[in-house]
């Protein structure tokens, strides 16, 4: 899936270098809201930087520059973990992940109804997991920071509605986790780095 999306984005950017719009494109809508759907990830360590569902707030400050805050939340069911914090513990009760980030992008319009963009997303992810070990409840929480170079494309069906996709290469720094066992809280020195490939598709609704 990642290779397919990467190939599509690369071909589209190549096309943009030679294509010419037959008509002058209208100015981009100034503000919109979107829904992003993660397509999975090839990732080393911990919660991915792209949640299954994310909310996008799109601010087109000009026809060539966009700022886009995003928020995501996901719940991991019992028997799995929201991060690598308790991977070695059987009997996991599941967990959660919360993401907050901001994207900044340069846009180009090779066609009236299409935009290509490149830039990056930065943000933080707060994740937690819980398990019962020998009758004792264990809770773990961890924060991480990511920077994700991003390429994407967007196609307007009508002026107020568009679809598209993104390919991200997140670079992820994990902070020391906190483990709570009973009434005792301990910070564990296990900071680490992770990277990989992630992709998403989206719908945006403009005012």
Q: Which of 70, 41, 40, 42 is nearest to 54 (CA)?
A: 70
Predicted pLDDT of residue 12: 57
State the virtual CA torsion across 20, 22, 24, 27 in degrees, nearest 10.
-70
Looking at the chain, how many residues does it have? 207
| Strand segments (E) across the chain | 31-43, 53-60, 65-76, 92-111, 114-133, 136-158, 161-168, 171-174, 178-181, 184-187, 192-206
What is the spatial distance between Cα 118 and Cα 98, in angstroms, rounded to a whole number?
25
Q: Give Cβ neighbours of residue 124 (< 8 Å, ≥ 6 apart).
A: 99, 100, 101, 143, 144, 145, 146
Predicted pLDDT of residue 194: 82
Tokens, residue 79: 């028997």
CB 115 within 8 A of CB 58: no
Per residue in 29-76, pLDDT (tens digit) is: 899 999 999 886 655 555 556 678 899 999 999 999 999 999 998 877
Question: How many CB atoms within 10 Å of residue 107?
Answer: 18
Kindly report the backbone phi and psi dihedral angles of residue 84, in degrees, each rounded to the nearest multiple of 5, phi listed first.
-90, 10
Predicted pLDDT of residue 9: 55
pLDDT band at 142 (very low <50, low <70, confident <90, very high): confident
pLDDT band at 88 (very low <50, low <70, confident <90, very high): very low
DSSP-based three-state secondary structure for 33: strand
Flag whether pLDDT at 182 surpasses 80: no
Question: How many CB atoms within 10 Å of residue 180?
Answer: 15
pLDDT band at 148 (very low <50, low <70, confident <90, very high): very high
Interval 129-133 mean pLDDT: 78
What is the spatial distance between Cα 15 and Cα 152, in angstroms, rounded to a whole number?
14
């Amino acid at each position: 899936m990642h290779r397919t999306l990467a190939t599509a984005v690369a071909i589209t950017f190549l096309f943009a270098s030679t294509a010419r719009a037959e008509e002058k494109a209208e100015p981009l809508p100034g503000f919109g809201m979107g829904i992003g759907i993660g397509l999975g990830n090839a990732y080393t360590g911990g919660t991915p930087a792209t949640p299954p569902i994310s909310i996008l707030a799109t601010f087109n400050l000009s026809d060539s520059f966009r700022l886009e805050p995003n928020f995501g939340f996901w719940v991991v069911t019992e028997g799995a973990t929201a991060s690598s914090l308790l991977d070695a513990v059987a009997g996991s009760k599941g967990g959660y992940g919360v993401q907050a980030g901001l994207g900044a992008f340069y846009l180009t319009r090779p066609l009236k109804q299409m935009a290509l963009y490149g830039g990056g997303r930065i943000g933080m992810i707060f994740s937690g997991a819980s398990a019962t070990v020998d009758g004792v409840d264990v809770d773990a929480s961890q924060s991480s920071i990511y920077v994700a170079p991003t390429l994407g494309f967007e196609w307007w069906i009508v002026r107020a509605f568009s679809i598209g996709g993104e390919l991200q290469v997140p670079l992820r720094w994990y902070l020391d986790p906190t483990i709570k066992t009973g009434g005792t809280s301990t910070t564990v020195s296990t900071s680490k780095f992770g990277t990989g490939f992630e992709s998403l598709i989206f719908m945006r609704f403009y005012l």
